[in-house]
Structure 1
Amino acid sequence: MARRGGNGSNKRGTRSARAASQARGRGYGSGGWQGFLWRWTKRLALTGVLVAVLAVIGVGTAVFFASRSLPSYASLRESQTGQTILVRARDGTQIVELGPSYGQWLSADEIPAVMKQAMVSVEDHRFNSHFGVDPMGLARAVFNALSEDRQVSATSTITQQLARNVFLNSNRTLDRKVREAILAMALEWRFSKEQILELYLNKVYFGGGAYGIDSASRKFFSHSARDLSLEEAAIIAGLVKAPSRYSPTADVDAAVSRANVVVAQMVKYGGLDPAVARQVNVDAVKLAQTEGQNSIRYFTDWALPQLDLLLPNGTFEPIEVWTTLDVGMQRAATTAIKSNVPGEAQGALVSLDRDGAILALVGGTDYVTSNYNRATDAMRQPGSSWKLFVYLAALEAGYTPDDRVQDVPVTINDWSPRNSGGTYAGEIDVRSAFAYSKNTVAAQLGNEVGFSNVASMARRFGITTPISTYPAMVLGSSEVRLIDMVRAFAAVSAGGRSIEPYGILRVTTADGSELYRHREGRAYTLVPDYVAAGITDLLQTAVATGTGRAAQIGRPVAGKTGTTSSNRDGYFVGFSSGITTGVWMGRDDNGRVAALQGGRAPAQAFAAYMRYAVKDRPVEEFDTDLKLPEWQLEPDDEYYYGDNDDYYFYIDEQGNLVDPSGDQGRYGEGFDVEGEGPNVVRDPLDPRGMQPQSQSQSQSQPAPSPTPRPTARRAEPPQAASDDFLEQATGRDLPRDDRRQNNRPAQGVLNEQR
């Protein structure tokens, strides 16, 4: 019995142990999940270690082979970085040569210690401790990017910058960054830290075509880099981050501010004594006297960066760039701006040929004082020159220059615009309202056609900046670029066809091989011919008798003035003989300029330039013959009233039709054969049709309905823009269905698609 009991107990114990083991296997025991996690943690760790080892082996192999393929130190010293670009005018004459300028090569012993200290402190303070790539800096940049939800900021070490400058380009691609890192580690493997720093300081770009610290020192301080002071070294070291922004010849204040940052970094990382740093006075540095540079640099600063798009494959050999610039017109434009700009204000001018070629471009009064390009980059309010788009929308909606409108005080959504002189003319025609820049009329037209439609019209004509749709937008409250406004007016000059400004005709190598040639782009119809003719009529009147009289040059000119509140901006944009020119004047700080009005200094500068620009061109009369489409014409009265006998009709004082033949029966009872002549008046608020009105309309009674007669079916207006233009704007093909011609497209179709 005892033995049987013992056996039973053992069996039960065995079953219990087996159940516990199964429970633990299923994860129910105290150590099941821990065991499971531990096993997978070990597997992942081993996998990670294996991947890391393979990655190290791969990177090490790549670095090894890259280091073996690197040129020798002597070869790297002799190689030059940068590309020489010879810029020519449209007639082939050389206007400027841009490219690298190299000073003397300074060995590591010849480079001042403060220069090395400044550069390492501000560009790569862990230069002496990393192996070409800075893992700590990269980790910090990644963490900041993830925590702040932005892109990873630049983390290039001095060695990486050297690799990029010598072997690679500046494309921001992952492939380029990987190759940059490999080459940086190869450089560290092959050369010493001292050699790498020597190469870097003799090859890095400091702006203005200066490569290396000796070239930069001679350019900015007129002496060798061997004699650099602490303040001068700080200025040069600060240039690497953004050579154009911190150049002392372009913006002294920005250069000084950046140099002070460098000095602070030297105290923090470079061992500079704080007591010495407190004595640093960057403002006292004497800069080299720079000869005044031609305003052509404003043009080249805008045009040459486009080479990256025009030459997608890139080239490092010397090239010649043939541009659209006319040297004589550029000189005349520069003189016109300098001679007419008031006081301390700035001025800008853009001039386009009929195909969009830029003939002259001035971005400011002095390129050396400020290289900020106000012609292509500044966003300023255009004032009443914006009314171009208001009246284009109104003409497209059915208005004509002869239509009557009301120049009276109005209020639109709690906004009450006032005319410049505070006076109101009452009933006038559209032509006069535009010529004298009546704000109240522009407000009413914008309200009637829709402010969003005005904005869409501006977009259609090439305005790329944000556009407000509040009522005040009709007076030019949205900021624009001058070059965009000139483009819009040039499209009007071209009869309502799109214009694309360009500045480069062709690019060749030094031996004449052609790398690029401008091809005329596809032009799109922006508005129908009659709309372009109507707005040209208005623009011509504005110069002939309106606010733009100062822009007259002895031949037909069409244009529009613009002045913003408190005289902060003055605008004039116009065209003559196929040349479209725009002028802006104002202060960079948006301050008030005494007596600045678009109809004065800007219009005078326009006239001074255009007299020279068009002197060799034939006089061209504008096409203002308003050939209205069928849908906008009044239908023939014969279709309304039948035969010739029924052609004439009259309205009595009560507004009733009167039969001139005396046959009352043909019209029904109540028609008086006695009556005055026809009294047909155009309603200024309804430009599409002639509305019969009695002489005392307020007392008129509704007339009885006459016998129905045949009426002409009014034709429908064409769509606002061509199918080609709509396809480009929407990115999709439109149906080619003849039924489209039988359906009038909604006025807002183009607006909704753009």
Structure 2
Amino acid sequence: MARTTAAGRRPARNAAAGSKARPKSRSGSATGKRSRRSAPRPGGLTGRLLRAGLLWSAVAGLWALVAVAGVLVWQAYKLPDIGDLDRYTRAGAVRMTGADGRMFASFGPIYGDPLTVAELPRHLVQAVIATEDRRFYDHPGIDPIGLARAAWTNLMAGRVVQGGSTLTQQLAKNVFLTADRSLERKLQELLLAFWLERNFSKDEILAIYLNRVYFGAGAYGVDAAARKYFGIPASRLGLAESALLAGLLKAPSRYNPAVAPERAGKRTSVVLANMVDAGYIDRDAARAAAGQPIAIAGPAGRGSGPRYFADWVYDSLPDFVGRPASDLEVITTLDPGLQAIAERAVSEGLAAARNADGLQAALVVLDPASGAVRALVGGRDYGDSQFNRAVQARRQPGSAFKPLVFLAALEAGWSPSDSIDDAPIRIAGWAPENIDGKFDGRITLAQALARSRNAATVRLQETVGRGRVRALAERFGLSGPLPEGPSLALGTGEASPLEVAGVYAAIANGGRAVLPFAVAGVRDREGRPLYERSGSGLSAVVSRRSAAALTDMLAGAVAAGTGKAARLDRPAAGKTGTTQDHRDAWFAGFTADLVAVVWVGRDDNAAMDKVTGGGLPADIWKRFMTASHKGWPERPLPGLREQQASLAGERQPR
């Protein structure tokens, strides 16, 4: 038993000893646990870095989204009020229309009638779409394809030659924002583009754009542009006109057809080619439209006459409605046809004259019955000088004043057949002479006026009385100070061509004074009348008999006197005027239909090269009257038939 026990214990001890002698296996429990805790896993550090990077990237991305959202919210907060597009119509614009109802001038930015896409010509809409935004009806306000195409085109060209903005973006920029190229403005533009696309249909966006975009020459909106350049509403635009206006959108000033017609024509051809490329028209239609001459029929043209007239009317507006605080329409008396004839008569007359360098001219045309100004030319070239000689210049009328002396005599009981002595006369050391240095002796009043005899006229004035002549001149509307001395008879006072025209209109209408006027009415933006002219408010200042007798005498001056160079193919009356040293030359006259007064001179009041009233002014007057009366029926001068009847059996000359 002991053996067995001993024997049995021995292996146990040996096993224990053996275990102490040999190192434990790596698979032992204690060693295995330690190994699992401390041994690095494959790629552990890299993995942790990757996980950390992803985590921080996600956090950064989230904050970036928050930042972008914050920027967008802030920019949206800073956007202008976009709830009322009509609020952006600028106030204070003045549109002027002529007697024919068509606009011929404007001051300040003007807007036409708001039109829908359905109300616009189809080719106008197509021209704009083909040129400005061909994918307009397909994109959501921003065109990624267009942006990419523009970027590629600009990269290949090495400069910016094409933009990627859509019509919606252009509307956002033009109506609400500034032309600033900053990132902030671009973000606002994008936000507004999305807002517009969400709140309006495509047709509405296009209509708002076309009703607001700038077309140059002060015209905002396609209807204003059509009226400004062509004198017609946008609904009547043809293909060529539509292409021209669409071409202006790129650079209104650069392609203005009134300033650069050749450049505008080339741009129009580009637009027509775009329409062909887009499939809107064929090549034949494009060629036909491109071959049409560019005719500017509206107030954007460079004619000088209407601009003198328009400036005068604009400056006088405070007298009617005060300074305009909102858009106004001014209905004027201007006859565009007569205005064009007047401009041409002045231009051609000066061009044909000998030694006309440095000369200026003015022409005023009135309706003798009312005093309405039908045409007005204030100078040779508005571009060179805006001084309006027809209204602002005060010059000596010379012999054009003499009819008032003879009219005062007629009112005092004299007759055209009465005689007056054309002989030397001296008054307080002053002795007037006739232009030819000769004296005619005893002649009738009719002869003295027709031949414009200075000595006879002064003698008649001194007989009738200077006070009577001066009072008559004032009643006829001559506002300037008149000389107290005997030289009054020879027109040494000062008057504007407009005032002189008023005097001759009163003679032509039978002796009723008129106040020349150009404004017939003023309306506000909604068409409500702010001012309407009614009547002249002036009465007769001389008898019809005296006015008719003077008219007959002035007809003799044209038929066989100093004004014979102005003879027409119909009855006409008039008087020449030439001042000392040829500083001023006039011709003032009328038919049964129109009164016209022409002045020629130098702005510095220097002497001209022997220009007399019977020369260049008479030539310009005749050019105008001949062209303006073309096709009109011939009518006798007013009052002459009654005058002839009343003069039957008149007493013998004095």
Please say whether Structure 1 and Structure 2 have the same fold, judged by a TM-score greater than 0.5. yes
Q: 1:315, CA displacement in angstroms?
A: 5.0
Q: Is the 8 A contact 1:496 1:525 kept in 2?
A: yes
Q: Is the 8 A contact 2:304 2:377 kept in 1?
A: no
AA aligned to 1:86 is: R
Cα 1:73–1:597 shift into 2, 3 Å:
farther
Tell me what 1:724 maps to: none
Aligned match of 1:362 in 354, 369, 377? Answer: 377
AA aligned to 2:428 is: N
- The SS at the match of 1:442 is helix
The separation in 1 between residues aligned to 2:571 and 2:399, in whole angstroms, is 21
Q: Does 1:373 align with 2:382?
A: no
Aligned match of 1:323 in 332, 339, 343? Answer: 332
- 1:494-528 deviations in Å (ceiling 9; x for gaps): 10011121112222334433333221223311101
Tell me what 2:569 maps to: 554
- 1:187-222 deviations in Å (ceiling 9; x for gaps): xxxxxxxxxxxxxxxxxxxxx979xxxxxxxxxxxx
Q: 1:488, CA displacement in angstroms?
A: 0.5
Tell me what 1:531 maps to: 546
Q: 1:597, CA displacement in angstroms?
A: 0.6
- 1:205-252 deviations in Å (ceiling 9; x for gaps): xxx979xxxxxxxxxxxxxxxxxxxxxxxxxxxxxxxxxxxxxxxxxx
Q: Does 1:582 align with 2:597?
A: yes
- The SS at the match of 1:428 is strand
Aligned match of 1:393 in 384, 408, 414? Answer: 408
Tell me what 2:586 maps to: 571
Aligned match of 2:311 in 301, 323, 348? Answer: 301
Total equivalences in the alignment: 388
Task: Give the alignment's Cα RMSD to 1 decimal.
Answer: 3.1
Tell me what 2:534 maps to: 519
Tell me what 2:249 maps to: none
- The SS at the match of 1:302 is helix
Q: Does 1:412 align with 2:421?
A: no
Q: Is the 8 A contact 1:88 1:96 kept in 2?
A: yes
The separation in 2 between residues aligned to 1:494 and 1:579, in whole angstroms, is 10
AA aligned to 1:549 is: K
Tell me what 1:352 maps to: 366
Q: Does 1:489 align with 2:489?
A: no
Tell me what 2:488 maps to: 473
Q: 1:337, CA displacement in angstroms?
A: 1.0
- 1:547-584 deviations in Å (ceiling 9; x for gaps): 00111111011110000111111101100022111000
The separation in 2 between residues aligned to 1:584 and 1:615, in whole angstroms, is 23
Q: 1:633, CA displacement in angstroms?
A: 7.0
The separation in 1 between residues aligned to 2:79 and 2:498, in whole angstroms, is 48
Q: Is the 8 A contact 1:570 1:598 kept in 2?
A: yes
Q: Is the 8 A contact 1:419 1:439 kept in 2?
A: yes
The separation in 1 between residues aligned to 2:517 and 2:327, in whole angstroms, is 22
Tell me what 1:421 maps to: 436
Q: Does 1:450 align with 2:465?
A: yes
The share of aligned pairs that are identical, in percent, is: 35
Q: 1:316, CA displacement in angstroms?
A: 2.9
Q: 1:419, CA displacement in angstroms?
A: 0.6
Tell me what 2:515 maps to: 500
Q: Does 1:540 align with 2:550?
A: no
- The SS at the match of 1:411 is coil
The separation in 2 between residues aligned to 1:457 and 1:560, in whole angstroms, is 18
Q: Is the 8 A contact 2:365 2:596 kept in 1?
A: yes
Aligned match of 1:83 in 79, 89, 92? Answer: 92
Q: 1:615, CA displacement in angstroms?
A: 2.5
Q: Is the 8 A contact 1:293 1:368 kept in 2?
A: no
Cα 1:456–1:490 shift into 2, 3 Å:
same
Gaps of 5+ in 1: 1-71, 110-207, 211-289, 635-680, 684-754
Tell me what 1:94 maps to: 103
- 1:84-120 deviations in Å (ceiling 9; x for gaps): 22211111122122214999958899xxxxxxxxxxx
The separation in 2 between residues aligned to 1:99 and 1:603, in whole angstroms, is 38
Q: Is the 8 A contact 2:420 2:460 kept in 1?
A: no
Q: Does 1:338 align with 2:344?
A: no
The separation in 2 between residues aligned to 1:566 and 1:605, in whole angstroms, is 21
Length-normalised TM-score, structure 2: 0.55
Cα 1:556–1:506 shift into 2, 3 Å:
same
Q: Is the 8 A contact 2:405 2:460 kept in 1?
A: yes
- The SS at the match of 1:459 is helix
Q: 1:361, CA displacement in angstroms?
A: 0.4
The separation in 2 between residues aligned to 1:385 and 1:410, in whole angstroms, is 21
The separation in 2 between residues aligned to 1:509 and 1:682, in whole angstroms, is 60
Q: Is the 8 A contact 2:508 2:592 kept in 1?
A: no
Length-normalised TM-score, structure 1: 0.48
AA aligned to 2:376 is: L
Gaps of 5+ in 2: 1-77, 82-86, 111-173, 183-216, 220-299, 351-355
The separation in 2 between residues aligned to 1:612 and 1:506, in whole angstroms, is 29
Q: 1:457, CA displacement in angstroms?
A: 1.1
Q: Is the 8 A contact 2:100 2:335 kept in 1?
A: yes
AA aligned to 1:298 is: Y
Cα 1:577–1:590 shift into 2, 3 Å:
same
Point out which structure has higher relative CO (alpha carbons under 8 A, 6+ apart).
2
Q: Is the 8 A contact 1:530 1:628 kept in 2?
A: no
Q: 1:74, CA displacement in angstroms?
A: 6.2
Mapping for residues 52-451 of structure 1, pairs under 5 Å: 82-100=91-109, 105=178, 292-312=302-322, 316-341=325-350, 342-353=356-367, 354-451=369-466
The separation in 1 between residues aligned to 2:543 and 2:91, in whole angstroms, is 49
